[in-house]
Amino acid sequence: MLLEDYRNERLRKLDEIRARGIDPYPAKSSRNTMISELIDHFVEKDGQEVIVAGRIVAIRSFGKLVFVKIRDYTGEVQIFMKATNEDAPEGMFGVKDIKLLDNGDFIEVRGKVGKSQTGEISVFADYVRLLTKTLRPLPEKFTNKEERYRRRYVDMNVNPEVRERLVRRSKFWQATRDFMNKHGFIEINIPVLEHTTGGADATPFTTHMNALDEDFYLRISHELPLKRLLGGGFEKVYDIGPRFRNEGVDDEHLPEHIAFEAYAAYENYEDGMEFYEEMMKYVAMETWGTLKFHVGGFDIDLDCEWPRVKYADLLAEKFGVDVFNPDREQLIRILKENGVESNFDMTTPHLIDHVWKLIRKTSAGPYWVIEEPLSLSPLAKKSSDNPLVTERFHPVIAGTEMGNGFSELNDPLDQLGRFEEQQAARDAGDEEAQMLDLDFVEMLEYGMPPACGWGNSERNFWLLEGVPGREAVPFPTMRKSVNSEIQPEE
């Protein structure tokens, strides 16, 4: 049966319902009980009259008896109906009217709580009230990824694990907030639109503001505005919200995603590693109830003290690369020998970063990568022990960088010089190089205290959840499609 046939039959029923003077889309429900309350507290609810509401997921009719199963956000319950000699009250549906209802419709049920002869918890009702008449049927199964991502509202109904995953995603960010708030941080939402965007190597999206007749960038990072808050007198700040990077879509990257960044004055990267290791363990326990995971072919145990490994040592040991005196030909040869496809017309620091990713992808972790070279860290403070490296740290878990932090650069002249180097690279064609932000340099000239900064995105959630990014967000970005006649699987 084609979708059009299903829809036409439901439109016919809709016309009949309206002909009876019944509003098929009333504005309000009188529900007073969630279904989970009936299941979890049956002894207290047994024999009580309740009003429940939800979506019909099954209808079985046996002459004068009808069994309807409905589902709300908290669970499912059976509705037991029997025929009476009287017509249904105005606006209500009795057993003989059940043919006008379909799977997927939303109904309200008033009745007494009890158990059926088979022992199933039920609501015994003579009549039900229609809340929403649906025109399209939900499929029994829904597995096509393209269609699942486009019609996520269908996906969540047919595959409840998708909705459960989004609940865990919410817990993930709530646990992050709870941890930060308990440690004296203040959440401050900062602008998404920026004249000059920075804080990461990424290509931005652009837009135009009519009111000012000026172009703006969608932020690629929260970093620079949050550090301006440190310059304004705040000492512990963070923000959780969307950022936008005009890059490809793969298991670890979505152009639009939620990210978290935090900055603490009078702390350095040593303090940050201890703090954020504790935070990541806390968030994992609050979200999944465990510190042990099997993801991407790796067995991961976060319940340990994470080792600290120097960036230069890793590249030297694995590939013989000297990150302080890099050989472009050697870097390109390594990438080619390991199957990396590119035109290799990138900067030398980007080549080094790609070689590092070859190491990272085979690392189970957890461990901290520290002391990234100065050329790769335009916003990090130089190490006092080695001016060629920065006080920067990354946690590596299951082949992925799970965050990024460093002792913040607060020398305005040093920052200006690094910005100018980045801007020169950008002018030479590197669209991911950072922009010269003179306003930020000016803020540093007024003074910003020493600080540690940290950021991580919801990639952490995707990884520990064990799914690609598009599976873990409610409505992944898709290529536009206007075809609404695709028949879901049955």
Residue 370: give the domain boundaries.
Answer: 157-306+365-471
Interatomic CA distance for residues 486 and 301, integer angstroms: 44
> Among 36-50, 79-93, 464-478, which is the least confidently predicted range?
79-93
Same-domain check for residues 116 and 163: no
pLDDT at 345: 87
The answer to whether residue 490 scores a pLDDT higher than 80 is no
CATH number at residue 54: 2.40.50.140
What angle do the packed helices 412-427 and 438-446 form, to 10 degrees?
170
Let me know: does 244 contact 206? Beta carbons within 8 Å: no
Whether residue 20 is contained in a domain is answered as yes
Give yes or no for a cis peptide into 366 (omega within 30° of 0).
Answer: yes
pLDDT at 202: 86
Tell me the torsion sign for CA atoms 402, 406, 412, 418: negative
The answer to whether residue 486 scores a pLDDT higher than 50 is no
Whether residue 50 is contained in a domain is answered as yes
Give me the helices (H) in 232-385, please.
269-288, 311-319, 328-337, 348-360
Interatomic CA distance for residues 3 and 142, integer angstroms: 15
The answer to whether residue 378 scores a pLDDT higher than 90 is no
Q: Which helix (H) or strand (E) holds 239?
A: strand 236-244
Interatomic CA distance for residues 6 and 448, integer angstroms: 65
Instruction: Give 483's pLDDT tier (boundaries 50, 70, 90).
Output: low
Same-domain check for residues 173 and 214: yes
pLDDT at 434: 84
- 217-226 in b/e form (b: 16+ CB < 10 A) is bbbbbbbbbb
**Average pLDDT of the chain to the nearest whole number:** 93
Q: What is the mean pLDDT of residues 219-229?
A: 96
CATH number at residue 437: 3.30.930.10
The answer to whether residue 346 scores a pLDDT higher than 90 is no
Whether residue 259 is contained in a domain is answered as yes
Same-domain check for residues 289 and 422: yes
Interatomic CA distance for residues 316 and 318, integer angstroms: 6
For residue range 179-206, list pLDDT tens digits in order.
Answer: 999 999 999 999 999 999 888 888 899 9
Phi, psi of 295 (to 5 degrees): -140, 140
For residue range 225-282, list pLDDT tens digits in order.
Answer: 999 999 999 999 999 999 999 988 888 889 999 999 999 999 999 999 999 999 999 9
- Name which residue leads in pLDDT, 433 or 489: 433
> Among 97-101, 158-162, 163-167, 340-344, which is the least confidently predicted range?
340-344
Same-domain check for residues 16 and 162: no
Whether residue 25 is contained in a domain is answered as yes
Same-domain check for residues 170 and 48: no
Q: What is the mean pLDDT of residues 326-349?
A: 92
Q: What is the mean pLDDT of residues 280-295?
A: 97
The answer to whether residue 484 scores a pLDDT higher than 70 is no
Same-domain check for residues 128 and 161: no
Instruction: Give 408's pLDDT tier (boundaries 50, 70, 90).
Output: very high
Conformational region of residue 289, where left means phi above 0, alpha means psi within -120 to 50, and beta covers everything else: left
For residue 415, count other CB atoms closer than 10 A to its CB.
Answer: 22
Q: What is the mean pLDDT of residues 412-430?
A: 89
Instruction: Give 400's pLDDT tier (boundaries 50, 70, 90).
Output: very high
Same-domain check for residues 77 and 180: no
Percent of the chain with pLDDT over 90: 83
* Domains contained in the chain, number: 2
